[in-house]
Structure 1
Amino acid sequence: MIDDKKKPRRLGKGLSAIFGDDEPDAPAAEATPTGTPPLPRSLPTSYLTPGRYQPRRRFEAEAMEQLITSVREQGVVQPLIVRPLGDNRYEIVAGERRWRAAQAVQLHEVPVVIRDMTDRQALEVSLLENIQRQDLTPLEEADGYRRLMDEFGHTQEALANHLGKSRSHIANTLRLLNLPESVRELVESGSLSAGHARALLTLPNPEAVAEQIIAKKLSVRAVEQMAQRAKDGKPLTPAPVAKPRRVKAVAGGAKDPDTLALEADLSHKLGVAVEIVTDGEAGQLVLHYATLEQLDDLLQRIG
């Protein structure tokens, strides 16, 4: 249970609690006489325990292997944020993946910054650290936004301003929580993209369409077209994917078959219409999107 009943603070205050900036209600466990932030110190890995407010529900094996390799070669570079529990026990507020990687390579100690935090502050800092590092899945991110709003009183607009996200991104991400559990599990596992999931929200039977997406490898655009057909009262069958807009002639002639094939292949992989305009060695790669949802899915695909 969150034990801090104070009024909602600016979102950035949660991270300020880590470094000692402007946080009179969260005194540092190792504060210096001048009030400067506490310096990192080393603690045995056995003294640490996972945080109760960790927003991450899955630790992807491939990402963990990469982190383990990095820790094996360079050690834990960024200190963990912990808070004291007493009897040489400390709860991890931020950095559980680094702690797990350190254990995997049998490091006996890790660098930490110790802070006294209330349950409320620990939850806020843990959520913010993960969201700002973009380490969460779309649904973990959505759940983080929901908890920041429900438990700290933040608005969607405040979240957008402080996290550098668009207001529509916050709103669309939160909508993912309205999906059926079976579909959410497919998003969590990576079988469906966030763009697919948002398109499914408007369909009467998202579970059945989710199965079609996976079986037929449907693009986000195709699912959006299905949603539009459902809205118009038409059968839920995928509409043909729109072909890329063609350039009649480039450098005095029509496009060669290889260029056309490459356009089609890229269109299939990116889920949007692709146009390649060439003039000798130079040229342009043009991506055509029809909706902001489609653009958001494209941006996620290309990182």
Structure 2
Amino acid sequence: MAGRKNGLGRGLDALFPEKTPVSRENVRKPVTKPTKKAEMSVKADQKNESSNQKKTAMMVKISNVEPNRDQPRKQFDEDALLELSESIKQYGVLQPLLVSDKKDYYEIIAGERRWRAAKLAGLKEVPVIVKEFSAQELVEISLIENIQREDLNPVEEAMAYKRLMDEFHLKQDEIADRVGKSRTAVTNSMRLLKLSAKVQQMLIDEMITAGHARAILAISDKEKQETVAMRVFDEKLSVRETESLVKRILNPQKEKKQKTTTAEDAIYESLEEKMKGIMGTRVLIHRKKNDKGKIEIEYYSKDELERIIDLFESIN
């Protein structure tokens, strides 16, 4: 990751001590050495344990800790949370939460996933480290933590970059430096926000990939974006196939220019239209030499394929 003077660009490692002493006695500790499987299940929640300064963690009531409503990550994998909660039941929260003191409560800066899993595990208290940051630093830390763990979906990541630009007036190269990504990666991420809300939700729901989404971005009309996205999902198109589809939509004249107007062409076009009427879907006749060729019948879903097969079987 790219460096930064205040340490944020180096990730979250600079925020935690090597061994964090907890200020309260009688804190539950594991009585046996964690198994390899258990260590793997909490790997993402205990890799940031080195710091230039020693800080003290303290135990606080879990009811006094609340998530940051402005943090980039909005969705959490329920199965992963349950798996982490089971590990926490056995070994406790091995990595303290980083929080800000809001007087009436503690607001999570980093560690919401651990907090949620601890609540599922039924814990009454969690270890925290209290530290104050500026509003910009809070956004950066939450973004860095989630990016390091690959927890953000593409839209959440793009929204976080946009907030850094809009609220804190950072340029894309400055954002890239802070989160340890290339400027191109940040730019491509933010372009996803030009998609319609429906297509963005399809991306969040993993109905399409970021590669599909970037191909669809070539279409500015929001309704056409949604139509193409649904076709990509229904037909299970690859990214390359999506790119070709978008090109055909944007340049419809190219196909027409390739067509000739000979009498033979007119005959085949007539046959294609006739078969289209029979099949109820697009039909193409590809001609070869010596009066040979092949017929291509398109379908757009499994149900439509079964309908076409039933049509053939009904012919006696």
- TM tier, shorter chain? 0.5 to 0.7
Q: Say whether the 8 Å CA contact 2:89–2:121 is kept in structure 1.
A: yes
**Which segment is superposed worse, 209-218 or 153-162?**
153-162
Q: Does 1:62 align with 2:79?
A: yes
Amino acid at match of 1:64: L
Q: Secondary structure at the match of 1:82?
A: strand
Q: Does 1:229 align with 2:245?
A: no
Amino acid at match of 1:202: A
Q: Secondary structure at the match of 2:102?
A: strand
Residues 84 and 162 (structure 1), Cα distance of their counterparts in 2 relative to 1, 3 Å cut = closer
In the alignment, what sits opposite 2:185?
169
In the alignment, what sits opposite 1:195?
211
Amino acid at match of 2:228: V
In the alignment, what sits opposite 1:129?
145
Q: How does 1:29-178 map to 2 (within 5 A)?
A: 36-87=53-104, 89-178=105-194
Distance apart, 1:197 and its partner CA: 0.8
Q: Secondary structure at the match of 2:72?
A: coil
Counterpart among 226, 239, 243 of residue 220 in structure 1: 239
Residues 10 and 43 (structure 1), Cα distance of their counterparts in 2 relative to 1, 3 Å cut = closer
Distance apart, 1:36 and its partner CA: 3.2
Distance apart, 1:56 and its partner CA: 1.3
Q: Deviations over 1:30-79 (max 9, x none)?
A: 9xxxx934222222211101113221121222332332233233322221
Q: Say whether the 8 Å CA contact 1:14–1:124 is kept in structure 2.
A: no
In the alignment, what sits opposite 1:249?
none
Amino acid at match of 1:62: D
Unaligned runs of 5+ in 2: 1-5, 18-22, 24-51, 256-316
Distance apart, 1:82 and its partner CA: 0.5
Aligned length: 215
Question: How far apart, CA to CA, are the structure 2 residues paired with 1:19 and 1:43?
Answer: 18
Amino acid at match of 1:39: T
Q: Say whether the 8 Å CA contact 1:200–1:209 is kept in structure 2.
A: yes
Q: Say whether the 8 Å CA contact 1:180–1:207 is kept in structure 2.
A: yes
Counterpart among 1, 6, 9 of residue 12 in structure 1: 9
Distance apart, 1:119 and its partner CA: 3.3
Question: How far apart, CA to CA, are the structure 2 residues paired with 1:179 and 1:187?
Answer: 10
Residues 68 and 16 (structure 1), Cα distance of their counterparts in 2 relative to 1, 3 Å cut = closer
Residues 74 and 221 (structure 1), Cα distance of their counterparts in 2 relative to 1, 3 Å cut = farther
Residues 11 and 38 (structure 1), Cα distance of their counterparts in 2 relative to 1, 3 Å cut = closer
Q: Secondary structure at the match of 1:12?
A: helix
Question: How far apart, CA to CA, are the structure 2 residues paired with 1:51 and 1:125?
Answer: 12
Q: Secondary structure at the match of 2:129?
A: strand
Q: Say whether the 8 Å CA contact 2:99–2:109 is kept in structure 1.
A: yes
Higher helix proportion (structure 1 or 2): 2
Distance apart, 1:11 and its partner CA: 5.5
Q: Deviations over 1:123-153 (max 9, x none)?
A: 3322222223321000001111111222223
Question: How far apart, CA to CA, are the structure 2 residues paired with 1:149 and 1:178?
Answer: 16
Distance apart, 1:98 and its partner CA: 0.8
Q: Secondary structure at the match of 2:87?
A: helix
Question: How far apart, CA to CA, are the structure 1 residues paired with 2:177 and 2:57?
Answer: 30
Question: How far apart, CA to CA, are the structure 2 residues paired with 1:146 and 1:159?
Answer: 10
Question: How far apart, CA to CA, are the structure 2 residues paired with 1:220 and 1:13?
Answer: 34
Moved over 6 A (4+): none
Amino acid at match of 1:232: N
Amino acid at match of 1:209: V
Q: Secondary structure at the match of 2:106?
A: strand
- Please tell me whether Structure 1 or Structure 2 has the larger radius of gyration of its CA atoms: 2
TM-score by length of 2: 0.61
Residues 154 and 120 (structure 1), Cα distance of their counterparts in 2 relative to 1, 3 Å cut = closer
